[in-house]
Amino acid sequence: MAGASLLRLAVAVLAAAVCRNANVAAQTSDMGGYYNYMYAYGSYSSVGGGYYNAAYGKYSQVTGSWSWVYAYASTIGGGMYNSVYGTHGSVTGGWYNRVYRAFGTISGGHSHYVYGYAATVAGGMYCSAYGTASTVGGGWYQKNFGSYATNRCGYYNYVYGSYSTHGGGTSNWIYGRAYATTVGGHNHYTYSYSATVGGGMYNTAYGWNSDDTGNVGITIAGGWYNNAHGGFSTIHGGWDSWVDKPYAVVTGGSYNWNTGYANVIGGGNYNGAYTAWSTIGGGQSNRMYGNHNTIAGGHNSYIYSYASSIGGGMYNSVYGYVGNVGGGKWNRMYNSWGHIGGGYYNWNYSPWSSIGGGTNHWMYGKAYMTIAGGHNHYIYSYAGTIGGGMYNS
């Protein structure tokens, strides 16, 4: 009876040991735990402990629980439900992490996926790296599709451009083009090569042409709802401003439209520069339709000509090239090389002629005329002059 009891005890101990661990391959190591399997292809592999681990790859290592290594020389350092399918891959911890390509790495976190060669996810949750040598530094729901791309932190940021970077923020997207950057903020979109969005919300930088030819180096420094389309164009801040030609600039303000080559809008609201090499310094509702023009400021002023200027004021207009209105209100310069210094309701139809100021002056037809000031003067002759007073003709 005693011999039979000892025999039954030995059988039970042996059965428990067989059910606990299975080291099938030669020269494997099992440090402990339950149901740790190393099969025939797992030579020189190691299971450090835990539950339900499996090491199928040669020179592979598993520590943790419910984790599997299928690839050559790969490692799972801890955690649960982690898997490595790529050679020389590594999961150092966390839960539900997967490495599918060679030299891929997941440092920790939860529910990450690495599909890109030598790609890395450092932490966070629900992040994926599809691009070769791309990096997700952390955050939630981050996706890297471009090679050598970086997603540093934040959540719901997507990088499709190679060598591109998301610095942080939420719901930012870089599409298709390389060397693009978003530093932070919310809901930015970058479609252009080497473009930068520095912060703010709902800003967009993209090339106007379908092939993005020449539309590179776009910068939006911040603000809200800004759009920049031209190569090397810049929006420094503000909101709801548009730039869609190369080298154009909007430095701030709101609802400014810069659609001309190398134009500058310094600020203000509802200003528009539609041609080239022109400047609106600020103000509100000013419009520029000719090249090489300047509106320094003011309100509701218009230039329709070439190389003309309005210094300020309200409701002033220049129609002749190289014309100038210094300021005032409701002044009109219709001919070329003319000047209105200020005042209001002054109308100059004559070339090389000048109205210095005052109100309700008119110059018609002839050249080299001058009205220095006063009220309600009229000149119809060549090289005529009225120095001041009222109702002179």
pLDDT in tens, 60-91: 999 888 999 998 999 999 999 999 999 999 99
DSSP 153-165: SSBS-EE-STT-E
Amino acid at 303: I
| ∠ Cα 375 381 382 (to 5°) | 120
Model pLDDT, residue 184: 86
Residue count of the chain: 393
The Cβ-side half-sphere exposure at 310, using a 13 Å CA radius, reads: 35
* Full-model pTM: 0.83
Distance, in Å, from the CA atom of 241 to the CA atom of 37, rounded to the nearest integer, reads 62
Question: Is residue 2 over pLDDT 60?
Answer: no
Q: Residue 381's pLDDT band (boundaries 50, 70, 90)?
A: confident
The alpha helices in 110-227, defined as continuous H runs, are none
Distance, in Å, from the CA atom of 115 to the CA atom of 198, rounded to the nearest integer, reads 29
Model pLDDT, residue 69: 93
pLDDT in tens, 112-146: 999 999 999 998 999 999 999 999 999 999 999 99
Q: What tokens appear for 245 in the block?
A: 């030609």
pLDDT in tens, 336-379: 999 999 999 999 999 999 999 999 999 987 889 999 989 998 99
Question: Is residue 209 over pLDDT 50?
Answer: no
Distance, in Å, from the CA atom of 388 to the CA atom of 46, rounded to the nearest integer, reads 103
The answer to whether the beta carbons of residues 266 and 286 sit under 8 Å apart is no
Q: Residue 15's pLDDT band (boundaries 50, 70, 90)?
A: very low
